[in-house]
Amino acid sequence: MSQTVLTPGAAVLTPRGRGVVIDVRPTPSGRFIVGVEDETGEVRYFTEQALQLA
């Protein structure tokens, strides 16, 4: 992962609002995608570049 350390439980800001990291997975291309649960309980996956620590 690049500049930030995104671990499960970290509060983050996504393009869609605030959320909590629940999952970090590598892709076959060597990048990471981060599962984020929002306030409504919906989980979406983002690249680490799309997220900021809250």
Residue spans of the domains in the chain: they are 11-53
Q: What is the pLDDT of residue 42?
A: 96
Range 1-12 average pLDDT = 78
**Torsion angle, alpha carbons of 37, 18, 53, 26, to 10:** 30
pLDDT for position 38: 95
Q: What one-character DSSP code corresponds to residue 48?
A: G
Query: Cβ distance 27 to 33 under 8 Å?
Result: yes
Q: Inform me whether the pLDDT recorded for 10 exceeds 90.
A: yes
CA pair distance 17, 51, nearest whole angstrom = 10
Architecture of domain 11-53 in this structure: Roll (2.30)
Q: Is 53 helix (H, G, I), strand (E, B) or coil?
A: strand
**pLDDT tens, 17-46?**
999 999 999 999 999 999 999 999 999 999
Confidence of residue 3 (pLDDT cuts 50, 70, 90): low
